[in-house]
């Protein structure tokens, strides 16, 4: 059984192939970051046009890496949402056309479910009950995961997503898009106690987050400092990053303990952050919790996580009608998960 999935929800054109044991036998990604960097963010039409250009070479490279042909694929999948409508349409149309030509089923996958389950892809036990933190450019969510398809949203951001806060602060201090990896790099040479930035909602009984106040605090600090921006950047990055991570770790661990779960699964682009991995590893060990965190290649946008969800759905006999539309604002428990 082989699953081929296409991910085009934003600015990465990605194709992956999984074998019967859900082993990733190909995961190709063509990033468009350089194209969008000049605009300081993703331009939807530029993204769609580039997916069209990159789709064929990325698909052929994935088939070549996996040493298989289209006829060897049992199910074709694509991200159905959330994401940029035009970008999603390119991946969906390609996967549906391939499925039609090969006489195989098509499965539409929720991008958020891909991130959510990515920490389990390399786990021998597969998907297990856990509290899951999804921290990406568009989402910050705390979810109680009971089993495949059974998710309860316990908390989310009330304003900016964690990745969005990283990107906006990076822009403020003159770093290129996407800012998360740039802040990560600079922070390693900075003092994380230099600026005492606010930890919004840290002690609130709710499980929601808020990062817009922190962003404003960085802006006010910038107005006050006398040194050059180059001189203060490392300390600003380290202190800002520490504030975000402190809130994410404290609230995730608190919910895991409240729900009597023993596992915490962390996913999404922000989970690539080196300091985040360090803090979560230390705090989970101190609390006796198992930490599941996908390797960086599976944490940022990729098609392997989409193929993983599609393969779980295929095993349950699910498929998606070819007439199904794309869903730019798809929530985690939206149409791609109805009935489960």
When asked if residue 284 is in the footprint of ligand KG4 (CB under 6 A), the reply is no
Q: Interface residues for Zn ion in 298-337 (CB under 5 A)?
A: 301
Pairing label, strands 263-267, 130-135: parallel
Whichever of 136 and 320 has its CB closer to ligand KG4, that residue is 136
| Shortest distance (Å) from residue 308 CB to ligand KG4 | 15
Q: Residue 5: in which H helix or E strand, if any?
A: strand 3-7
**What is the spatial distance between Cα 13 and Cα 28, in angstroms, rounded to a whole number?**
8
When asked if residue 184 is in the footprint of Zn ion (CB under 5 A), the reply is no
| Shortest distance (Å) from residue 84 CB to ligand KG4 | 11
Whichever of 94 and 300 has its CB closer to ligand KG4, that residue is 300
- The tokens describing 311, both together, are 């393969």
When asked if residue 167 is in the footprint of Zn ion (CB under 5 A), the reply is no
On whether the CB atoms of residues 185 and 155 are closer than 8 A, the answer is: no
On whether the CB atoms of residues 264 and 289 are closer than 8 A, the answer is: yes
When asked if residue 136 is in the footprint of ligand KG4 (CB under 6 A), the reply is yes
When asked if residue 11 is in the footprint of Zn ion (CB under 5 A), the reply is no
Q: Interface residues for Zn ion in 272-301 (CB under 5 A)?
A: 301
- The tokens describing 267, both together, are 């996913």
**What is the spatial distance between Cα 6 and Cα 13, in angstroms, rounded to a whole number?**
8
When asked if residue 137 is in the footprint of ligand KG4 (CB under 6 A), the reply is yes
**What is the spatial distance between Cα 20 and Cα 212, in angstroms, rounded to a whole number?**
44
Whichever of 173 and 272 has its CB closer to ligand KG4, that residue is 272
The residue range among 133-141, 230-238, 282-290, 330-338 that interacts with ligand KG4, by the rule CB under 6 A, is 133-141
Query: What, of ligand KG4, Zn ion, none, does residue 167 touch, CB below 5 to 8 Å by kind?
Result: ligand KG4
Q: Which residue has the tokens 């006050």?
A: 224
Does residue 68 sit in helix, strand or coil?
A: coil
Alpha carbon separation from 124 to 22, 116, 167, 241 (Å, rounded)? 11, 17, 35, 32
* 3, 13, 92, 300: which one binds ligand KG4 (CB under 6 A): 300
| Shortest distance (Å) from residue 3 CB to Zn ion | 19
On whether the CB atoms of residues 158 and 210 are closer than 8 A, the answer is: yes
Residues at the interface with ligand KG4 (CB under 6 A): 136-138, 163, 166-167, 178-181, 184, 268-270, 272-273, 300-301
Residues at the interface with Zn ion (CB under 5 A): 136, 301
């Amino acid at each position: 059984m082989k699953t081929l999935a296409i991910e085009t929800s934003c600015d990465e054109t990605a194709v992956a192939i999984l074998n019967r044991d859900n082993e990733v036998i190909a995961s190709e990604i063509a990033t468009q970051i350089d194209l969008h960097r000049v605009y300081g963010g993703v331009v939807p039409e530029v993204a769609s046009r580039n997916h069209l250009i990159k789709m064929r070479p990325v698909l052929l490279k994935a088939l070549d890496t996996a040493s298989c042909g289209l006829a060897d694929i049992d199910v074709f999948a694509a991200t159905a949402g959330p994401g940029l409508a035009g970008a999603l349409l390119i991946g969906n149309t390609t996967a549906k056309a391939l499925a039609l030509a090969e006489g195989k089923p098509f499965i539409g996958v929720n991008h958020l479910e891909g991130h959510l389950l990515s920490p389990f892809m390399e786990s021998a036990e597969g998907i297990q009950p856990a509290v899951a933190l999804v921290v990406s450019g568009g989402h910050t969510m705390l979810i109680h995961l009971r089993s495949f398809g059974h998710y309860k949203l316990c908390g989310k951001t009330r304003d900016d997503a964690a990745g969005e806060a990283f990107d906006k602060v990076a822009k403020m201090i003159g770093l290129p898009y996407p800012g998360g990896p740039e802040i990560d790099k600079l922070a390693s040479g900075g003092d994380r106690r230099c600026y005492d930035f606010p930890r919004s909602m840290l002690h609130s009984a709710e499980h929601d987050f808020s990062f817009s106040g922190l962003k404003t605090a960085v802006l006010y600090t910038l107005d006050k400092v006398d040194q050059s921006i180059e001189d203060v950047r490392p300390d600003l990055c380290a202190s800002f990053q520490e504030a975000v991570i402190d809130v994410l770790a404290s609230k995730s661990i608190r919910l895991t303990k409240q729900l009597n779960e023993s596992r915490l699964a962390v996913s999404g682009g922000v989970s690539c952050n080196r300091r985040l991995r360090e803090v979560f590893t230390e705090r989970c060990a101190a609390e006796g919790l198992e930490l599941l965190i996908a390797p960086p290649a599976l944490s940022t946008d990729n098609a392997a996580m989409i193929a993983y969800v599609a393969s779980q759905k295929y095993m349950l006999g699910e498929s998606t009608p070819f007439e199904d539309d794309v869903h730019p604002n798809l929530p985690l428990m939206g149409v791609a998960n109805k009935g489960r």
